[in-house]
Amino acid sequence: MSGAATPETATDVEKQTDSTVRYIHPRVILMGILVSMGGFIFGYDTGQISGFLEMSDFLDRFADQTDADGNPAFSNSRSGAIVGLLSIGTLIGAIIAGPIADKLGRKYSIILWNIVFIVGVIVQIVTTTKWYQIAIGRWVAGLGVGGLSVLTPMYQSETAPRQVRGALVSCYQLFITLGIFTAYCINYGTEDDYSGAPQWRIPIGIGFIWPVVMAVGILFLPESPRWDYRKGNVDRAVNTISKSYGVPETHQQVVREVRDIKAKLDAETAGGAKHHWYEIFTGPRMLYRTILGIVLQALQQLVGANYFFYYGTTIFTSTGLSNSYVTSMILGGVNFGTTFLGLYVVDKFGRRKSLITGALWMFVCFMIFASVGHYALNRDDPQATPSAGTAMIVFACLFIAGFASTWGPIVWAVVGETYPSRYRARAMGIATASNWTFNFLISFFTPFITADIDFAYGYVFGGCCFVGAVVVYLFVCETQGRSLEEIDTMYVLKVKPWKSSKWRWEDDLTAQNMVSLGPEARQAAKRTEQAQERREVASGEANGVERGEPSNAATATR
Ligand code: BGC
């Protein structure tokens, strides 16, 4: 599929509507898949460890105690260190990824984090008997996973055509789930077919493939056009946008996008001031948005999906299902399969409706799961209450389907598109670090909490799901189909989130609003108005986009 033909006349340009870019260009699909390898690495690495802890050779080499039958076993502190150091690494990786991405660019940062991950894999695979070498290797690999968990959605949301941005970033989640599922399957295969070190060295070794594919593949993809534009590589940025939309550089969509990027950059550089990191809290409407990102990512963990992914085996053993591999395969399979639904709903129904519906769905599932587990299941002898056990498995799967099609992918998409370019890398880094912090806390505290309140723990997650629905209703703007620059304007103008899907900037610029808005919001409104005026002029121009190097002659000042 090639793009629309180059327009010959003004009328041709006018005819260019969004419909000419409604298909997804194969180049964009390729980009989606390749960059989503960052998600695969994330999923593969987090998915493989629970299997390792049960492998006989891994236990023989690294365990620090014996169980009642005299078999090697891990103490909580040692298994906690092996599992948890990855999360600590990811947390640090996510925080430092932002500033590095602003300096090095998105593309070369992706290569860097893949190399870091590979170093972590090497440290682990050459380990013979030292458990702490495995733990340190996981910490290093975690740095890479954390960096990629910021870079992947960032690169995708900065490069994707607006019509499919949600679906493309959701591809990242699809690959996380595919990574988890693949790790489960490979662990199952090697545990069954091998004895000795290959049991765990083969899955770790296969882990080399994904970062090599990603790091080499990204060399053939362009740099993020938004980063390029900010660094003065204007021609390249315009070219990348036109290629990702699959239309000529003169197309109205490309003109519009470039003009919006320019307007924002001009406004930022007009002040000429040096920018400080803390502006992610003090910049226009940034405190609101930074906190929103942190809360959404915390809630993405607190809705409780990892309760099932990390402790599914234990949970289902206590409901009477004893084959841990079957459990993992069921959960991993449902998770992967239903993420496809997420790719569809995010751009079909928008972020708000999908997240609110998903949160309420997960709330209901957890309420039923927790009530059956707490009141109906015979926890001492689960076989005596088989229907309770079955109901719990069904509602766990329904929960996972709800998570995988909404909160799993869409939170990554929303966080990738909520911040303006200047703050995006750092703000996304902090929000992603919040995800990893709560990921770690849930993995660490779940065994203790479950020991105290058994399945009533599900009420805690259910409550968080409900809070998630309220937070989205009150604070998240609908961003479906809007450019990143338009989204920024919407937040700066303090558009009411529950009215945001119907919001049109034209309606907001009434004299009444202009007076009641603060100076920053007024300037943002002005910028949007000017950008729109230029778009209209541009759609009458047959000679294509006026590129305009970023200049200090600001179209508006902040
Ligand atoms: C979450 C992970 C989770 C995974 C499950 C991701 O979006 O951030 O913590 O394990 O989804 O598919």
Tokens at 502, concatenated: 């119907």
Q: Which atom of ligand 1 is nearest to the CA of 339?
A: 12
Decide whether any atom of ligand 1 lies within 6 Å of the 335 Cβ: yes
Output the pLDDT for position 426: 85
Asked whether the beta carbons of 316 and 393 are under 8 A apart, the reply is: yes
Residues in CB range of 289: below 8 A, 6 or more apart: 418, 419, 427, 491
Decide whether any atom of ligand 1 lies within 6 Å of the 176 Cβ: yes
Expressed in angstroms and rounded, the spacing between residue 27 Cα and the centre of ligand 1 is: 27
Measured by CA distance, the residue closest to atom 3 of ligand 1 is 306
Measuring CA to CA, which residue among 526, 543, 525, 545 is closest to residue 535? Answer: 545
Asked whether the beta carbons of 167 and 343 are under 8 A apart, the reply is: yes
Characterize the bridge pairing of strands 65-66 and 72-73.
antiparallel
Cα separation of 122 and 207, whole Å?
10
Tokens at 297, concatenated: 């990512």
For residue 500, what are the CA distances in angstroms to 353, 402, 489, 514? 12, 24, 12, 18
In the predicted model, residues of the chain with pLDDT beneath 70 are 1-24, 270-275, 313, 322-325, 505-558
pLDDT, one tens digit per residue, over 360-410 is 999 999 999 999 988 988 777 777 777 888 888 899 999 999 999 999 999
Output the pLDDT for position 551: 42
Output the pLDDT for position 270: 65
pLDDT, one tens digit per residue, over 408-453 is 999 998 998 999 878 888 898 899 999 989 988 888 888 788 888 8
Cα separation of 352 and 501, whole Å?
9
Asked whether the beta carbons of 237 and 6 are under 8 A apart, the reply is: no
Over the range 480-499, which residues count as b (16 or more CB within 10 Å of their CB) and which as e? bebbbbbbbbbbbbbbebee
Q: Which of 309, 340, 343, 400 to mutate to test the pocket of ligand 1 (most atoms within 8 A of CB)?
A: 309
Decide whether any atom of ligand 1 lies within 6 Å of the 159 Cβ: no
Decide whether any atom of ligand 1 lies within 6 Å of the 177 Cβ: yes
Cα separation of 351 and 199, whole Å?
42
Residues in CB range of 472: below 8 A, 6 or more apart: 296, 351, 352, 355, 356, 359
Q: Look at the block and give the residue holding tokens 């690294």.
A: 62
Decide whether any atom of ligand 1 lies within 6 Å of the 164 Cβ: no
Output the pLDDT for position 438: 94
Asked whether the beta carbons of 156 and 171 are under 8 A apart, the reply is: yes
pLDDT, one tens digit per residue, over 187-217 is 888 877 778 888 889 999 999 999 999 999 9
pTM greater than 0.85 (yes/no) = no
